[in-house]
Amino acid sequence: MKNILIPTDFSDNAMNAVRFALELFKYEKTEFYFLNAYEDDVYNSDELLDEEPFDEVVEMTKNKSELKLELLLDEVKTIAPHSRFKYHTIPAYNSLIDEVDKLVIGKDIDLIVMGTKGEGYAQTYVFGSNTLQVLKYVSCPVLVIPRFYGYEQPKHVVFPTNYLIPYKRREIKLLSTMLAPFRAVVDVLYISKNKNLSRRQKDNKLFLEEGMQNIKVNYKHIESKNVSKAITNYASENETDLLVMVNTRHSFLEDMLFRSKVDDICLHTNIPFLALQNIRRDI
């Protein structure tokens, strides 16, 4: 049984992520948790400007959240009325990060699925602010679905890694079981000027090989100093359906996410993007 958390602001982009997740896990017994964290909606409410009592604004916003979640659930059951799926809705007067963090632990979440941007977020940015915060600060794998990306089975997957950190067995199993029904091929890319691996790197590579025995994996080396450019070029030149990266200290992804400006990130998510092994950092 997989436990999947899908935060939503009821935007078209969020609904696109919902549809993608329902298709991706259609062969698995899965529990879906649809979350709407509405704390920001309360403080941005026009009613507060009209000096309505705060408690009343909270109650009105809660009612709107519950109604929209009910409508979402009706649509989801129409799209995917599978007996393998169980659905839950969670309206929460809380910040998105705090509520997601709580649910990841309380519901033993395997994966968070999100769109790249929410309602009204600037078109010039690769990630919306909520998605970026979840990627940075929540300790759980995150699958990011680009805006307007139509579902396609993940047949070809690119997985860049430097082999420097040990993988989590649960996450490698998640990746493997997620891809196996589609007979996906995974290209594991080691990007470095030096082809040789240390003993530590060899051990981590062996762990990866053992964890993905039920899917086809190609192990490749690319000589390059510009890691993000090498990843982007390889993905675009090889008809990639899913990009997988490890998000931990000293990883390729951490370097990209923690630059001073999001616009400086060379890695543009025009394909679905799975971040594994997120680690807690202080906000």
**pLDDT tens-digit map of 153-198:** 999 999 998 898 888 899 999 999 999 999 999 999 998 888 899 9
Mean predicted confidence (pLDDT) in 21-49: 88
Query: Cα(149)–Cα(165) distance, rounded to whole angstroms?
Result: 31
Q: What is the DSSP code (8-state) at residue 180?
A: G
How far apart are alpha carbons 174 and 211 in whole angstroms? 10
What average pLDDT score do residues 192-218 get?
Answer: 93
Grade residue 127 by pLDDT with cuts at 50, 70 and 90: low
Question: Who has greater pLDDT, 70 or 263?
Answer: 70
pLDDT value of residue 21? 96
Q: Model pTM?
A: 0.88
Domains of the chain: 2-145 (3.40.50.620), 156-244 (3.40.50.620)
In the predicted structure, residue 138 carries a pLDDT above the cut 60: yes
What's at 42, amino acid-wise? Answer: V
Mean pLDDT computed over every residue of the chain: 85
Lowest mean pLDDT among 40-54, 124-138, 156-170, 214-228: 124-138
pLDDT band at 227 (very low <50, low <70, confident <90, very high): confident
130 has a pLDDT exceeding 50:
yes
Q: What is the β-pairing status of strands 2-7 and 142-145?
A: unpaired
Q: Are 222 and 230 in contact (CB under 8 A)?
A: yes
Q: Is the pLDDT of residue 118 over 80?
A: no
Q: Residue 150 above 80 pLDDT?
A: yes
pLDDT at 195: 86
Q: Give percent of the chain above pLDDT 70.
A: 84
Nearest Cα to Cα of residue 11 among 140, 160, 148, 212: 148
Q: What are the helix (H) ranges across 80-222?
A: 96-106, 129-137, 169-179, 199-211
pLDDT band at residue 269 under the 50/70/90 scheme: low
Confidence band of 245 (pLDDT split at 50, 70, 90)? confident
